Copies of this chain bind each other. A is one copy, B any other.
Amino acid sequence: MKVDLAPPLTMRLEQFTRFTTAERTRVDALSAYPYRTFEAGEAIISEGERAEAVILIQAGLAIRSKSLRDGSRQIMACLLPGDLCDLEVFVLQSMDHDLIAVGPTACSFIPTADVEGLLSEFSVLTKALWWSTMTDAAVLRSRIIGAGRRDALERLAHLFYELLIRHRIIEAAPNDTYRLPLAQHELADMAGLTLVHTNRTLSKLRAAGLVDFHDGWLQVLDAEGLKRLAKFESNYLHLARTERFTDVSHRASDLI
């Protein structure tokens, strides 16, 4: 008995703005692509793949999930009908996690070319800015994994290693040492731990000869060991260039 129900994508976007009739027609058109259906548990896209289309969930439920090498898994987001995923296909090289149907799920694949129509006017600079917001989101996802599936030691190690990489990129980590003017209390708020436990965990890292944290500086003593302990996977930072790649002597993807 459902009548006159707008497509979920339209309903969702109308939370943001009210469309004119012409605009609405265009939005509705995005929901009109043919869809493919997936069974529960089936992967819509897997980690490492390069998505070729923007995916719109039409019905069902999908999750963004990341499997860790130790067999554990963290689900980072839940995608409902009307949710778009992988708008980032335009700027990121490859998926850093899986997209999996959890029940029978229908997805439209909106061809890249058709979305390009919307985005064709983008300059390289605009795309670069977009890339920036996309990688920010990827870092957020990785932090969710950290909070959910890593213990205190691994969490701090991961945090310190990620910051090391990001500082190297902007050439602000001489001798693997960088400024980190945080009180332990703030480190605790980052890691989602209490102050006391952060303190004890820091001592362990120091005792293990991995990092030294004092006076607002963080010195990484054993970058490899830290990376191993953190179970660090670098792909989520999306450091490899996606287009117009030219060799450069100094490339961040060499730094990890």
Contacts and interface: CB of A to CB of B under 8 A. Distances in A.
Interface residues of A, number: 86
A248 B118 contact: no
A163 to B, nearest CB: 7
A215 to B, nearest CB: 12
A26 interface: yes
Given A23-B124, A103-B216, A18 B244 contact: yes
Nearest to A180: B61
B16 A181 contact: no
A119 interface: yes
Of the listed residues A73, A77, A126, A132, the one surrounded by the most CB atoms of chain B closer than 10 A to its CB is A132
A241 B17 CA distance: 6
A107 B126 CA distance: 21
A43 interface: no
B179 A61 contact: yes
Interface string A68-96: 00001111111011111001100100000
A233 to B, nearest CB: 17
Interface stretch (A138-146, A206-214, A224-232): A138-146
A182 interface: yes
A179 B59 CA distance: 11
Given A137-B133, A190-B75, A242-B16, A80 B172 contact: yes
Given A23-B125, A181-B102, A75 B133 contact: no
Interface string A99-143: 000110000000000000011010111111101111011011101
Contacts of A141: 140
A53 interface: no
23 contacts: A13-B128, A13-B132, A16-B127, A17-B243, A20-B124, A23-B125, A27-B128, A63-B186, A65-B189, A77-B136, A77-B139, A77-B140, A80-B166, A81-B170, A82-B169, A83-B132, A83-B136, A84-B129, A88-B133, A102-B186, A119-B126, A133-B133, A144-B144
